[in-house]
Amino acid sequence: MGGFSGSVSFQINYHGNLLIHCERKMINNLVVCIGEYKNMDDDLVNSAFQLMSIRRYSEALHMLRMVIAEDPAQWNAWELAGQCCRFLNDIEGAINYLSHATTLKSDERSIFLALGIALQLGERWSDAIDALQRAIEIDPDYVLAYNSLSLTYQKCGELDNASYYNENSLKSLARRIVKAMKNSPTSHIFKTYNSSNSLWIEYATYAAVYLSISDDIYGIAWPTSEQAMEEEHTESHAGLYWVDELNEKKESLRLFLPNYFNTFKEQLKSDDVYAKMIGNRGEILELLDRNDEAHQHFAEANEFLSLTYSHR
């Protein structure tokens, strides 16, 4: 097997926390994040959530069962109870709670992600795929659902589908980054970091095309290496990511500046999600006997992991 973390596939859960699947054992280092649970009015649900955040799952589950007995319509109590069961390795309990939560709240992406992962852990591949597909239907840019769907296909031996959804997880991450970019001269200016690994540029370019199509831009371009060096030296466009101009036909053209690419890379290394997904892609490519490509992905994953952790 390849050179990335000893052949480990990473299932990325809420906001980049990880449930790591190894060939011989499962290591659970996931801490539930509050981002998916912003609107919990019930004091007991909030107390249970706080217990979950410090991994006191049995106590949290007891509280959540009290909430459900009092008010069976509280979908977030059912969801959190399912998560508690999963972390307590009661996979069937997790599936039961989460399945019921989907009947109470059929448009909540986090429930279907959690259900899909629980079904995957129970090796109910088809049901897991259906749940994760539903999460993506709710949010077509749901990075975590694409990643878990890819891992599910990998685990049941459907490597072409695993590759397809892994690539989509990386593209959805790219879209998420570029959608958050505010093109302003006051943006921070990042300098070019020299590296022999450049797979990330493919996703930066994809995101540039995606954004330009969304903005009804006719064509795009980026500087030559000489122009990029000059821009970094003079900072003539300050913190801008791109500039739009009209050609002789009055068609909009967009020039992406070095700060766009450098900022995109900074966002990729701000946490370990990209590194772990590109490493997962390396593992899939290796299983497909595309070894040269796999090693390229492992090298980029290891570089980004080191960059991410060096900034913490």
CA–CA distance, 307 with 309 (Å, rounded to integer): 6
* CB distance 129 to 135 below 8 Å: no
CA–CA distance, 153 with 128 (Å, rounded to integer): 10
168-226 tens-digit pLDDT: 999 999 999 999 999 999 999 998 877 788 999 999 999 999 999 999 999 999 988 89
Looking at domain 31-141, its CATH superfamily turns out to be Tetratricopeptide repeat domain (1.25.40.10)
Place of tokens 């960059």: 307
Task: State the burial class of residue 292 (Cβ atoms within 10 Å of its Cβ: 0-12, 13-18, 19+).
Answer: exposed
Q: What is the mean pLDDT of each run of 10 residues along the chain (312 residues)?
A: 42 36 25 41 84 95 95 95 97 98 97 96 97 97 95 95 97 96 96 85 96 93 90 94 92 95 95 93 96 96 87 61
Q: 206 phi and psi, to 5 degrees? A: -55, -45
| Residue 10: predicted pLDDT | 53
310 CB neighbour count, 10 Å cutoff = 8
73 CB neighbour count, 10 Å cutoff = 9
| Residue 17: predicted pLDDT | 31
Copy the structure tokens of residue 278: 């590109």
Instruction: Write the CA distances from 227 to 187, 241, 258, 260, integer angstroms.
Output: 20, 15, 9, 14
* CB distance 268 to 16 below 8 Å: no
168 CB neighbour count, 10 Å cutoff = 19
* Angle formed at CA 71 by CA 69 and CA 74, multiple of 5 degrees: 115
| Residue 106: predicted pLDDT | 97
Domain ranges in the chain are: 31-141
